Amino acid sequence: METVDLARLQFALTAGAHFLFVALTLGLATLVAVLQTRATVTGSPIHLRMTRFWGQLYLINYAMGIVTGLVMEFQLGLAWSGLAEYAGDVFGSALALETLVAFFVESTFLGLWIFGWDRLNRWAHLALIWVVTLTAYASAFWIMVANGFLQRPVGHVLEGGALRLADFGAMVGNPAAQLAFWHVLGGALVTGGFFMAGVSAYHLRRRTAEQDLFRKSLRLGLGLALPAALFTVAFGGMQFAYLQPSKNAVWADRPELMAETQAAMAALHGPGDYLPPVGAVRVAGVLMMALWLVMTLVAGLSVLLMAFRPAVRSFRLWHWLLTLMIPVPFVTMLAGWVFREMGRQPWAVYGLLTTAEAMSPLTAGQVRLSLTAFTAVFAALVAVNYWLLARHARRGPGAVALGARPAEPAPAPVPAF
């Protein structure tokens, strides 16, 4: 593989792995906030236990996501200095806002939520988790603003061989960012919903303790997953109006349109191959849509089955299916991300800066070394996150440490005289 292909593979692996954590974090944060709202308003003990159980799984995933995000930012600066020099003044403003939101506001309020159990007023504590959830949304929004600029660059001027931000409102209002944000948010809610439903189905199938807790969790997860799937496909469909001409030609599978697009790009930018990888774009797009259909059918049938209480309690085949569905939203999200990012190639900033021009001046050996190192680190992080989530999910609510009151020390023995 050429050096630029190795660098692209490295970023694809690191960004894709980080995206897995982000999807579950956004979905679980919303569900935990809803559960705590119910517990606070009604005083329901079971919803409080649900909040603590799912909140602990959320925290595990959040912590690992922070680590992968830091590693990803490091390799972004390592391998793509050309992109930063050319367009960093534009999309870097959105990344800076995301950093302020994610690492200052979100992490501060999350820390208060973790250590505020039984120390803060219950309404103040509830407000904290909603601030955490909304700042997580804001973090995702600014990431999509930055990515939307790379997909459809607007709001900039060219000065001294580099781009400068001229219209911040145009960059924020970019349809390639706005529609993608809602699409990603919907996908994250589907991910969180199926995760909650799958873990709950596992415990219902095994007849573990807290069956009522898991029945309620199953209903909540599936009750979110179905409308979220419909919401996601609606905003996904809207984005096709803003596909790049080259990506649209490949997706439409029209050779004459591909030839016309290639000729137009060559006339503007000189000789070169300006079409994205045909196979990767089509396979990723078809896989994304096929898996969305599977999730929608499973969620729809599951919502119907939930009307029958005996099925929720003892339909083991359905419980098996829901447990097996846990990874499907993750694969769907990754397929969608590949469809979006590979469809932009060979451009880092569409129509302005190629991926080869965006690379740092690295040798093939240096990129192979960093690719090996980053792949090993991210593989370890994904494996550890899976192990921790699976371990704590299997142990159930009885082993939750989040919000648990510390045991009172035993009274000192009275000396005998």
Range scoring the smallest mean pLDDT among 30-39, 76-85, 321-330: 76-85
Say yes or no to pLDDT of 410 above 50: no
> For 214-228, what is the mean pLDDT?
93
Q: How far apart are CA 128 and CA 135, in angstroms?
A: 11
pLDDT, tens digit, for every residue of 149-189? 999 999 899 888 899 999 999 999 999 999 999 999 999 99
**pLDDT cut 70: percent of the chain above it:** 95
Query: In whole numbers, what is the pLDDT of the chain averaged over residues?
Result: 88
Give, rounded to a whole angstrom, the gap between the first and last alpha carbons of the chain: 85
Say yes or no to pLDDT of 32 above 60: yes
For residue 311, what pLDDT is reported? 63
Say yes or no to pLDDT of 343 above 70: yes
For residue 149, what pLDDT is reported? 93
Say yes or no to pLDDT of 415 above 60: no
Comparing 97 with 307, the larger pLDDT belongs to 97
Range scoring the smallest mean pLDDT among 32-41, 74-83, 136-145, 382-391: 74-83
Range scoring the smallest mean pLDDT among 38-42, 100-104, 328-332, 337-341: 100-104
Comparing 68 with 412, the larger pLDDT belongs to 68
Say yes or no to pLDDT of 318 above 90: no
Q: How far apart are CA 344 and CA 152, in angstroms?
A: 9
Range scoring the smallest mean pLDDT among 12-26, 40-54, 68-82, 179-193: 68-82
Say yes or no to pLDDT of 266 above 70: yes
Query: Would you tell me the crossing angle of helices 316-324 and 175-206 to the nearest 10 degrees?
Result: 140
For residue 339, what pLDDT is reported? 93
Range scoring the smallest mean pLDDT among 10-19, 23-32, 114-123: 10-19
Contact present, 322 and 197 (Cβ < 8 Å): yes
3-state SS record for the chain: CCHHHHHHHHHHHHHHHHHHHHHHHHHHHHHHHHHHHHHHHHCCHHHHHHHHHHHHHHHHHHHHHHHHHHHHHHHHHHHCHHHHHHHHHHHHHHHHHHHHHHHHHHHHHHHHHHHCCCCCCHHHHHHHHHHHHHHHHHHHHHHHHHHHHHHCCCCEEEECCEEEECCHHHHHCCHHHHHHHHHHHHHHHHHHHHHHHHHHHHHHHHCCCCHHHHHHHHHHHHHHHHHHHHHHHHHHHHHHHHCCHHHHHHHHCCHHHHHHHHHHHHHHHCCCCCCCCHHHHHHHHHHHHHHHHHHHHHHHHHHHHCCCHHHHHHCHHHHHHHHHCCCHHHHHHHHHHHHHHHCCCCEEECCCEEHHHHCCCCCHHHHHHHHHHHHHHHHHHHHHHHHHHHHHHHHCHHHCCCCCCCCCCCCCCCCCC
**pLDDT class for 408, splitting at 50, 70, 90?**
very low
> For 121-142, what is the mean pLDDT?
93
For residue 328, what pLDDT is reported? 96
> For 244-273, what is the mean pLDDT?
89
> For 281-294, what is the mean pLDDT?
95
**Amino acid found at 234:** A
**pLDDT class for 148, splitting at 50, 70, 90?**
very high
Closest to 379 in 3D by CA, of 22, 64, 4, 25: 64
Comparing 61 with 409, the larger pLDDT belongs to 61
Say yes or no to pLDDT of 16 above 50: yes
For residue 106, what pLDDT is reported? 85
